[in-house]
Amino acid sequence: MARHRNTADEPEAGPWPAVPQQSYRDAMSRVGAAVNVVTTDGPGGRAGFTASAVCSVTDTPPTLLVCLNRGSSVSAAFAGNGVLCVNTLAAEHQPLSALFGGRTPMDERFAAADWTEATTGAPVLVGAVASFDCRVVRTAEVGTHAVLFCEVVGLTQGTVHEGLIYFGRRYHKVHAEQASA
Ligand SMILES: NC(=O)c1ccc[n+]([C@@H]2O[C@H](COP(=O)([O-])OP(=O)(O)OC[C@H]3O[C@@H](n4cnc5c(N)ncnc54)[C@H](O)[C@@H]3O)[C@@H](O)[C@H]2O)c1
Ligand SMILES: Cc1cc2c(cc1C)N(C[C@H](O)[C@H](O)[C@H](O)COP(=O)(O)O)c1[nH]c(=O)[nH]c(=O)c1N2
């Protein structure tokens, strides 16, 4: 019979042994993902971070989820603003991913690219594969992370053909014949 796990709100120690953190990370390193720079601005200040833990939840209403480490320096800004923009990176943005991936002062991160402003006030990356302007409608805390459920209130579809994927702890460029294909 399949093992049933309780929801994150009702954790319960199972009869099975814990998976070591390193084994989990090693396995996850084999799961390819798009690379995004998630940005915010507002009363909590301007901030942005690199995120691969982003996915589509439902299209009715259009909703994304973003997993944000609660221990990161940007956590308070996102909680304070309640809005964000998911900017999916193009191949040319690989250096930007490293900059927004931690330990770089916020002004330096933003100075490395061109931005416009979304309806919510969040920064939109010029030349992104796609940008999703969102308001955070729900937040769940799971372990070290906050899972932000984000309703998409506006979007920009780019025209670049080269995307960026993180797989095997390395960046890979992917090509689409048509930008919207
Ligand atoms: N979801 C995340 O928070 C997440 C995702 C990717 C990378 N990172 C961070 O980026 C840096 C480089 O990562 P890497 O992929 O080169 O090597 P890594 O060995 O640190 O991570 C391998 C994979 O494990 C997962 N992972 C790593 N740390 C995680 C965390 N704290 N919470 C949830 N999942 C996590 C991710 O899928 C990641 O791609 C590390 O500091 C890592 O913590 C964090
Ligand atoms: C490729 C890749 C992918 C991710 C990350 C890094 C990199 C390089 N990081 C880490 C995150 O970007 C980093 O912790 C933030 O920039 C915050 O760092 P500071 O606390 O500001 O230094 C990250 N963090 C997070 O909370 N959720 C995520 O999905 C990811 N994904």
Domain ranges of the chain: 33-53+74-135+155-175
**Among 29, 54, 72, which residue has the most ligand 1 atoms within 8 Å of its CB, making it the best to mutate?**
29
- Dump pLDDT digits (tens) for 43-74: 999 999 999 999 999 999 999 999 999 999 99
Contact 64, 134 (CB under 8 A): yes
In this structure, which ligand is nearest to the CA of 71?
Answer: 2
| pLDDT in the model for residue 1 | 36
| pLDDT in the model for residue 2 | 38
pLDDT over 70 (residue 6): no
pLDDT over 80 (residue 30): yes
Indicate the pTM of the whole model: 0.94
pLDDT over 70 (residue 7): no
| pLDDT in the model for residue 31 | 98
Q: What is the ipTM of this complex?
A: 0.97
| pLDDT in the model for residue 179 | 54
With a 6 Å cutoff on the Cβ, whether 102 touches ligand 2 is: yes
With a 6 Å cutoff on the Cβ, whether 49 touches ligand 2 is: yes
- Dump pLDDT digits (tens) for 163-178: 999 999 999 999 987 6
What CATH code would you report for 33-53+74-135+155-175? 2.30.110.10
With a 6 Å cutoff on the Cβ, whether 143 touches ligand 1 is: no
Give burial (CB, 10 Å; 0-12/13-18/19+) of 178: exposed
- Dump pLDDT digits (tens) for 111-131: 999 999 999 999 999 999 999
CA 79, CA 98: separation in Å to the nearest integer? Answer: 23
CA 44, CA 82: separation in Å to the nearest integer? Answer: 9
Q: Give the percent of the chain with pLDDT over 90.
A: 84
Which residue owns the Cα nearest ligand 1 atom 14?
A: 169
Which residue owns the Cα nearest ligand 2 atom 8?
A: 101
Contact 158, 179 (CB under 8 A): yes
